[in-house]
Every structure is written in structure tokens, then in C-alpha cells.
Structure 1
Amino acid sequence: MDLAPDCTVVVGGRFEGTDFGQAPAVVAGGTGGAVLRLDPRGQKVLKVVRLGTVVSDLEVRRDTGAVAVASDAGVAVLEPGLGAAAWAVGDQGPASRVAVAGDGTVAALFGKTLRVYDASGALLFSKAFGDAAVNDVAVDAVSRRVFVTGFKQDDGYTCGQLQIAWVRAFDYRGAPAWKAYDWDKTQAGDAGLCADTRGMRVAMGRDGYLYFAGESAGGNFIYSRDPQDFAEPAANVKRGPYHDAYNTASNHITYYTRLEPATGAQLLGQVLLARLGSGKGNTIRPLALAADEAGRVYVGGIAACCIAARDALSLNGRTLPPYAGDDAWVLVTSPDFRADLLWMVWNAGGKGEVRGLAAAGGAAALAAVVRLNPFHTHRALQEAGPGGYASVWPGWPPAP
């Protein structure tokens, strides 16, 4: 999910059985996979492009509106009008994640291999990782950096089995520029920071900063340390029971932080967890990440019971049904991380998870997987579907 410069909404996934009344453009023999352009309110389909059998990720180039797409057919960059592909690469297998910078540089993940292309589609460099997982990629034209996140398995010291999150930055030639976290089992073990951590998402905010979202199996985590200096505490903002990892076990919780793209220096960080009625910490996992022009952070994913004020939440004047499992949630923080501007779920008795988020120019949008209907609908293009959900709502204006 992303927002184009003309305020239209761009969403990708698997769309079968209908072209929404459009004559679709077809790229590389596309079938069930598609990119849709919706009007700014998300109520009308304006364009359909078919590519692959499923689109796994996309990002809109913020100056021109070109769309970089990752699918099981590889990587393609669609022209701003979505009428054709400017270029495509289909000989490297399925692509899972993709990002595009303001200069047209595209970074994509093919399994555990990073491939970076210039604006014409020429390969700049590729790099294979031997880590346990490689989960996301971002790219920045100003610092000329490419960012990758994932986690490694580093077993055999005092923590026993241990997963360690990392962020690694490279220049446009593929040379290492900096890294964050990426500690080893000895450092973590000696400090007693034995919670498994995983890097899940990286994203360039529209404020020019890099954002990272990860998860941890409990509160004794490496996120308590500065990501580049293990001896220093992290610049974490603790406030209230949902942003402080006390009274929690090995349930997975969320962590997000703002970094300087050029150097990886940490500016702010914060933990997020759900809580049971007893006050005990519970699971909340990040699967989507964005930041708007003012640095408001949008994080989303899947949560167990319960986010704050869960029983009192309402959408469009309708109180949502009680928690029924697998809440698809979105949190929006203030730029200084000291206030929650919005913490909402879209479940109306169903189950799901937020997979895509976008925020820009006073608008916000999400894409979610629906495991079980119903989800909340309002002026919906389709009232219900077997597996997908999208929502558009007013965000905050660009100025803080």
C-alpha cells in the first residue's frame, strides 16, 4: 500500500475473479497478481495492472509517481500512469520486498539476496546474506544508502539459542556503510539480554529519516542499548504500561526507532506491547511501517489481547465488537514519541493482520490480510471478501 503524488491510493496483492470494470494492463503475462490505483477516498478503482500471480510489495516513487513492484514474477517499475512497465527483471525468481528512491534507484529482495538497480534497470550490485532471515529493504537518494533488516541465529553461549536483529546499510556500490544492532551472543549473554530479537521492517519516512521496526520475545532485549554502541543506553521513550516492557514473559512485542540514514545514529526509540486485563504483557507484532512528513510514526501488524482501550474503540460512530483474536492494529505516535495519536483495530469480530501502511499529505491508508470476516466497512467498494482489506482515512496535515 502506498500513496501517489496525486493523492491516489496504490495497493497490490492477489485479486482474482474481477478487474473492477477496468481493462487491465498486463505486464509479463500477469494473472492473479495486480496493482490497483484507487481514487483518494479509496472508493473507486481507476486503473488495474496485472503482473504475476501475487504482488508481495510495492512502493511509489514520491516525485514522479512511478511504482516499484515485487511479485512472484520478479521486479518491475511501472510508469506513473500505470499503462506499462518502464523496466522489469524476471530472471531472478520471486521478489519479496522492494523500495524505490527519489533518484529512481530500486532495491529488492529475492529470498536472502539483495539486488539494487539504477533508474534504467541496470544492476548496480547484488549481495547474498547467510543470516536466518532477511525481511525488508529501503533506499535513500539523499544519503545514497540501501538498508536491509533481518536477524541472525547466534547460539552456544549463556543465552543458549539466540536470535539477534540487525540493520545493515550499504552505499550504491555495495560497500558497507554502517550497521545497527547486529551484536553477537557474547555481548548479549554477558549483559543478560537473552530475548530473541528480529528485524522486521525498515522504511524511509517522508521526513527524510530512516525507521526500523522489530520484535522481541520478551523485555530483556538488545533494544535497550544504543544500536551502534552497546555500552550506551538507547534513546528510548518510556511512558505508561503499553510503552514499557515490564511484567511480560517471552511473548513477542514490538520495538520501533528513528535513525539517521547517513550514519545509523539513533534519535528516538520506543517499545510497544499489548496487555491482558491482569496487566500482564501480551503479544503484538509489527508487519507494516511508515512515517509522514512531520515524523509521525505509523506501525501496524497483528496483536493478541489487548491494545489500550480495546473495549471502547469505535469507527464511524459504531463501537467495535470485543476482541475475538488476531487484531489488525495500527498505532500512530507523535513525532517525539510522547503521545499516541491513534491506536486502532479494524476488526469487527473477525481476525487479520495489517501488512501495508502509507501516510502523506493529510491522508493515511492500510492494507490487511483477513483471516476471518467481518472487518469494519464504510462506503465500501466491496462489503466483504475472502482474504483482503483496505482502508483510507484522514491523517494529519504535513506541518507539525
Structure 2
Amino acid sequence: MKKLWRSDWMMIGLLLVSISVRAETFKNLPVMMTTYFGGSQADTINAVEVSAAGVLAAGKAPGFNPGVGSTDWLGGGDGIVTLFGVEGTRQHAARLPSEVLDLEADGTGKAVICGQFGVIVLEPTLTTQVWNKTDIGAVQRCALGADGHATVLVGSEIRIYDNAGTLLGNWQDNGTGRHLADVALDSANQIVIVTGYTQAASNLQIAFIEGYNYTGSLQWTAYDFSASAVNSENLAADSRGEHVAIGADGKLYFSGYVDGGNAIYGRNPQDISQQLSSTELISTDSYNTPYNISGAKALAWYGRFNPATGVLDRGQFLLTRLNDGKGNSISIKAITANSDGVIFASGEAYYQIEDRNNRQVGGVQVGNYAGGEPFLLVVAADLSQRYHWTTFAAPNKAAGGSPAYGVGVHGDKAALGVTLKLDAGQKAITINPTQPQVGGGSSDGYLAFWQVNFTLPSTPLLISPANGDTIAMPSPLFQWSGTDALTYKLVVKEAAGHKLLKKKYTTADVCVGSDCEVTPAGLILPNGTDFTWRLTAGNNAGNVKSDKAIFAVEFPGVPLLISPEDTSQVVSPLPLTWNAVSAANEYRVLIKTVSGKIKTGWLTTADICSEGVCSYVTTTLNIGDYTWKVQARQMPIANKSNSAKWAFRVTTSGVIPQALESGLTGK
């Protein structure tokens, strides 16, 4: 890293002051599938595209049988392009003579595919060729426009073809020290976009982006400043343009390398003397604000541009952090955007991305760190929030040295591709895999498929038991209102904290419209304890917790005492009467005095109750003060409900009360 000058530290300080409040990054990437892909030799995935036809992944897989139909093109060979369903099922494969280095598809799935063999365009099923060129040399990068035109990069030569494969133009961009890295095609404005860098001096590399028309006439440039201009602004950090792509929103997306924070990316791409404003260079936290960096660190920068003019809309740095807070390296290997301008990027990261150890893929927490691990980054269109930023190491394993070279999105589906090194036992998280184990060799392909959703579910509204309720059932019916979740996780605890239930339900199983309810199997709650319940609503964006509700259980219900009334004076023996509880099938009477207590056995409803009233006749009681209460239960459930406790005084003992003479003793 080159020296930071005072003016640039001042600029970084201003950026820190203007850092905006950022919403929290989603903890989990809710994948439909992650899987290995490859055989016993060295396999790679160099590009991924998503379209209406499915997911295309390109690279090499020598000797590997993907288990689906395959079509050989240009004689076939180790190169492979595989068509997957958006959920990850394999559908068809195309074989090419050598490793596929790049691929781009339009919205229908038509794809331009390139490598040492040249370039070929295939229809979405991969079974029909549109055109090919095998006599132009090795093609390192290629791009496809919405109108079917294609552009290719052959060394320092750029070539543009129409949708039938007719050459429309070709030109060289081979000035002194020029290094070309990538091409993109904006068919709406008929612009071919090229990026790379110039070795402007022995100690200075300067990124550039250029826009040409179809005949090779330069229309605009971005960055591409002279060495003297860069040095006069004290922006000594090396920079390189690495990747360009036209997003589904029609905008140009660029990612580049920078050796530190004092770089040209903080300036207007057409005027190096003009610093970017806080609405152009977006800083929200320490992971996109380049400060506290020592030593040579490879940072990344990415942004959105107008493809017709090269004018920057907005951009952002990207870096990782060491435990001591110092900046560390990261590299973007692929970039694209959906129709809303949400940016999807992938690459390799070094210790460590934001909140790395708490990230999850498919609900599985990521494993150990190793340098150069694959990452996915998904950022809001205004660059104010990272929706996802995760790596993919399997639990207790690492995935170092394994860049994610490809990422794609179409509608609400997205996919990522990794070349997973296998030289140190690397493993990645697998969810519903079609290939659960690595194939072998020095590397394997690895793919992730997920549904795009950045809107969290609504907070569930708890209905019953409501907060403060006492319910007359030991197996509660939990009811709530919910609208847009895919799952609900129910947690029931004792108020003291002991967890009694944690179970996830799908919306389809427990909801009709917004009305949701469930009685958890096997959950029987005792009387006399306070409980809490809470829901976590989940969808592909993340989870939202409801409030807690406290409730108690009183089952089968409280018996209401009738006679003798509280504080009555009575003669003994006497009948004790109470209202029957509809859910009870047994009762027990408890009588206490200063000298002891009398407790009956459990008496059945059939023996002591009639027409909603229950009665028990005491034995002869001595003169004195007593209390009495009744317990009710419904066997075989052990819960017991207690009545109120009433007092009476026996003033005469051994006299048969009038109630007994009248036969009103109950059944």
C-alpha cells in the first residue's frame, strides 16, 4: 500500500462522520440447494448465469458424468456448461473442447460461451447452436446483449458480432502498458464496454473503463487518468478494472481492485480533481470505508454507471477486517444486478467479513476460516444495506483458496458457483445436495441456489392465549394472525425460563389465510405455573419474532363452593356441596382443623354429582373450627384445580342435619 497523504486522510475522516445508519445484514442465506459438482479430476466453475430457462454453470469437468443428457459441441471435451433448474436439479449438459472461461446468457437463456476453443452461442436448452467462431484464437471473456449481439475479448482485440454471427467490428486496445480484463455489451445504446488497467509507471497501475460503438469509435472513458494527474492528486494506490456487466436494470456494473484507500475511486471518473460526494461514494460502516490499513492490502471497489456515458451513479469500497480492526483483503470475481438494481457480487475473502462466525447457509452456521474463502455479497440498490454477506465453509471445516467465480440472478431466483480447492480437506455446506460428497482431484465445483427475497415477514400477532390469560386446557390451542411467512417457530417456556417446546411449522400446515392455529402434540402443561409463548415468523429474507405472552393453565376448572357458606355455623355431620365442573370426572374433598385434616379419596362424578351439583357428607365432626375446599381433575390427566377455601364452625356434633333427613345428599 502506498503512503496516505493528509488530504486523503481528511477525506476519509469526513466519510466516517457521514456514515449512515445501516440495517442489519440477514444472518442466514436461505438456500434451496447447495451441492458439489464434479468427478475425480480437477473440476472448475468459472461462470454462472440465471435466466428464464434455469441456471447455467460453466467450467471444466474432465471425465465427469453429470447424469443427464449431454450434447458435444465443436467436438466435445473437458469443457462443460450445465443447465440446472432454478432449484438445482440437473437438466442437460453441453461439452466443449476445453475449459469454458466465461459465459453470459440473456433473459431467455440463450448463451454465449467462450474459451481456448473460441466462441459459440447456444439456444437455452443447450441442444441447438446459433453460431460459432473457432478461428479467432483463444477468447478469455465474452458478453451477450439483449438483442442477441455478442462481444468477445481476444488478447487486446475486441470483436462484436450480430445475432447471426456476422462480424460488425473489431479493433485493438493495445496501448503501452495496457491490460484488458473484461467486456460487457449494452445493446440498448449499442455500446461495447471494456475494462482493465494501464501500467502507467513502474510503480503505478491505473484502472480504466471505456465505451465504444460497434465500429470501435471511443464514446467515453472513466478513470484512465495519466500518471501525472494521479500523482498530482496524491492518489498513489494501484487500481485495476476487473469486471463489468450490464445488470437486468440496464445499468453498467463495475468492480475493481485497489491497493489501499487513497485511490482514484474516491474521485469523479471523468474529473480526478473532483472528490465524490457522500451520495456518490457510500459509506455505512468499517467494511466499506477504507481506513486503518497497513501493509499491502487488496481491497475492492464496485459501482453503478450509466452505460451510455460512463457517468457514475454511486459506488462503494469493500474490505474485510482483522481482529484488531485493521483493514484486510478481499477480491470481487463476478458482479451483476437484478431489475431493481440490487447488486450481487462474489469472490474470495480474507480474514474476515462482517460478523462472519454468525453467518448461516440454509440454517447451518458456517465453519472455520481459511484464507481466500468464497463469499457472496448482496447489496441494496442505494448501497445503504448489505442484505447478505456470507461465506460457505462447512461446520468444523474450511473452504480456503476457493473463489466464487460466478453469480447470477433472474427474477426471484439466484445462484452462485465456486471452484472449491481440495488440497487441504476443504468442505462447504451442503443443503439438499444432488452430489453430497466431493468428487476428488485437486478441485471440485460447488453451487448454491436460492430464492431472492429482501422483505422480512410481518410480525405475528398473538391472539390466544392472550397475555395474562388463564386457560382451561392443559394442551393449549395457540392462535395467531400472520400474513406472509413461510414458517412459524413456536417456543413455549416456563416463566422461569425452562424450555418446554420448540417446534417449526409450515404455513400450509397451520394457517388458513391469515388465521393460524396449532395444538402441539404431546404438550401437556400443569396447573400452578406461569408460561410464556412466542412465535418466530420466517421467510426467504429472514426471521421476525413476535412479542411474548404470559399465561397460566387451570384445568379442568375451579369448582365453585355452594354450602356451607363461608364462616357458617353448622351441625355435624353435614353435606358439603359445590357446582360440578364440566371437564372434571373426579373430585376430592379436603377438610382441615387445628388438630389435623381429613382428605377423601378421589370420588367419581357418577357417584356424587347430579344435575350440575355435587355433594359429599362428612363424618361426625367434633365441635370446633374447620376449613374446606374441593379439588377437581380429569383422569388420566394429572392436573388438579382447587376451589376456594371456606370456613365453618361446628357448634353441635352428632346431630343428623335436616338436609340429610330430606334426602338432598347428592347421588
* TM-score, scaled to structure 2: 0.57
Q: Which residue type is aligned with residue 393 of structure 1?
A: W
Specify which of 226, 236, 244 is matched with residue 281 of structure 2. 236
Q: Deviations over 1:81-135 (max 9, x none)?
A: 2113210000111211111001111011112221111111011111222244211
Q: Deviations over 1:309-348 (max 9, x none)?
A: 0111122222111212211111111110011111011122
Specify which of 202, 212, 221 is matched with residue 170 of structure 1. 212
CA distance in 2, matches of 1:320, 1:347: 5
- Summarize the alignment of residues 309-324 of structure 1 with structure 2, pairs less than 5 Å apart: 309-324=355-370
Shift of 1:289: 0.4
CA distance in 2, matches of 1:136, 1:98: 8
Q: Which residue type is aligned with residue 146 of structure 1?
A: V
Go from structure 1 to structure 2 and tell me whether the alpha carbon gap of 1:132 and 1:375 turns closer, same or farther (over 3 Å shift).
farther
Specify which of 291, 294, 304 is matched with residue 340 of structure 2. 294
Check if 1:262 corresponds to 2:311: no
- Summarize the alignment of residues 274-289 of structure 1 with structure 2, pairs less than 5 Å apart: 274-289=320-335
- Name the structure 2 match of 1:69: 113
2:246/2:336 contact within 8 Å kept: yes
Aligned residues: 391
Shift of 1:66: 1.2
Gaps in structure 2 of 5+ consecutive residues: 1-47, 456-667
Shift of 1:397: 7.3
- Name the structure 1 match of 2:255: 213
Check if 1:394 corresponds to 2:451: yes
Shift of 1:41: 0.5
CA distance in 2, matches of 1:71, 1:148: 18
- Name the structure 1 match of 2:122: 78
Check if 1:134 corresponds to 2:180: yes
CA distance in 1, matches of 2:168, 2:433: 43
- Name the structure 2 match of 1:224: 266
Go from structure 1 to structure 2 and tell me whether the alpha carbon gap of 1:81 and 1:321 turns closer, same or farther (over 3 Å shift).
closer
Q: Which residue type is aligned with residue 347 of structure 1?
A: A
CA distance in 2, matches of 1:170, 1:251: 33
CA distance in 2, matches of 1:23, 1:292: 30
1:203/1:211 contact within 8 Å kept: yes
Check if 1:368 corresponds to 2:425: no
Specify which of 288, 292, 298 is matched with residue 247 of structure 1. 292
Check if 1:53 corresponds to 2:98: yes
Specify which of 153, 164, 182 is matched with residue 109 of structure 1. 153
Structure number with the bigger relative contact order (C-alpha 8 A, sep ≥ 6) is 2
- Name the structure 2 match of 1:357: 407
CA distance in 2, matches of 1:333, 1:306: 18
1:362/1:397 contact within 8 Å kept: no
CA distance in 1, matches of 2:410, 2:110: 16
1:137/1:146 contact within 8 Å kept: yes
Shift of 1:34: 1.1
2:170/2:215 contact within 8 Å kept: no
2:387/2:454 contact within 8 Å kept: no
Shift of 1:148: 0.6
CA distance in 2, matches of 1:269, 1:397: 21
CA distance in 1, matches of 2:450, 2:90: 17
1:289/1:357 contact within 8 Å kept: yes
Q: Which residue type is aligned with residue 24 of structure 1?
A: S
Q: Which residue type is aligned with residue 309 of structure 1?
A: D
CA distance in 2, matches of 1:220, 1:397: 33
Specify which of 145, 156, 159 is matched with residue 191 of structure 2. 145
Query: Once the two structures are aligned, what percentage of the paired residues are identical?
Result: 33
CA distance in 2, matches of 1:185, 1:122: 39
Q: Which residue type is aligned with residue 350 of structure 1?
A: A
CA distance in 1, matches of 2:97, 2:282: 43
1:75/1:89 contact within 8 Å kept: yes
Shift of 1:144: 0.9
Q: Which residue type is aligned with residue 378 of structure 1?
A: I
Q: Which residue type is aligned with residue 70 of structure 1?
A: C
CA distance in 2, matches of 1:322, 1:192: 39
Gaps in structure 1 of 5+ consecutive residues: none
Task: Determine helix, strand or coil for the equivalent of 2:287.
Answer: helix
1:25/1:84 contact within 8 Å kept: no
Check if 1:200 corresponds to 2:253: no
Shift of 1:381: 1.5
CA distance in 1, matches of 2:369, 2:274: 39
- Name the structure 1 match of 2:470: none
CA distance in 2, matches of 1:242, 1:18: 40
Shift of 1:65: 2.3
Specify which of 122, 125, 131 is matched with residue 166 of structure 2. 122
Shift of 1:47: 0.8
CA distance in 2, matches of 1:324, 1:103: 43
Shift of 1:379: 1.1
1:19/1:48 contact within 8 Å kept: no
CA distance in 1, matches of 2:156, 2:434: 37
Task: Determine helix, strand or coil for the equivalent of 1:188.
Answer: helix
1:207/1:292 contact within 8 Å kept: yes
Shift of 1:21: 2.4
- Name the structure 1 match of 2:81: 35
Task: Determine helix, strand or coil for the equivalent of 1:174.
Answer: coil
Q: Which residue type is aligned with residue 11 of structure 1?
A: A
CA distance in 2, matches of 1:82, 1:74: 17
Task: Determine helix, strand or coil for the equivalent of 1:241.
Answer: coil
2:122/2:128 contact within 8 Å kept: yes
Shift of 1:38: 0.6
Go from structure 1 to structure 2 and tell me whether the alpha carbon gap of 1:87 and 1:265 turns closer, same or farther (over 3 Å shift).
same
- Name the structure 2 match of 1:4: 51
| Farther-moved stretch of structure 1 (128-137 vs 262-271) | 128-137
Q: Deviations over 1:210-259 (max 9, x none)?
A: 01000100011000101112122222001110010001133010100110
Computing the radius of gyration from Cα coordinates, the structure with the larger value is 2
Shift of 1:270: 0.4
Q: Which residue type is aligned with residue 345 of structure 1?
A: T
Check if 1:188 corresponds to 2:226: no
CA distance in 2, matches of 1:334, 1:270: 12
1:310/1:322 contact within 8 Å kept: no
Runs of 4+ in 1 over 6 A off after TM superposition: none
Q: Which residue type is aligned with residue 178 of structure 1?
A: W
2:300/2:318 contact within 8 Å kept: yes
Shift of 1:267: 0.6
Task: Determine helix, strand or coil for the equivalent of 2:357.
Answer: helix
Task: Determine helix, strand or coil for the equivalent of 1:99.
Answer: strand
Specify which of 90, 95, 101 is matched with residue 139 of structure 2. 95
| Farther-moved stretch of structure 1 (376-385 vs 294-303) | 376-385
Q: Which residue type is aligned with residue 198 of structure 1?
A: R
Q: Which residue type is aligned with residue 198 of structure 2?
A: K
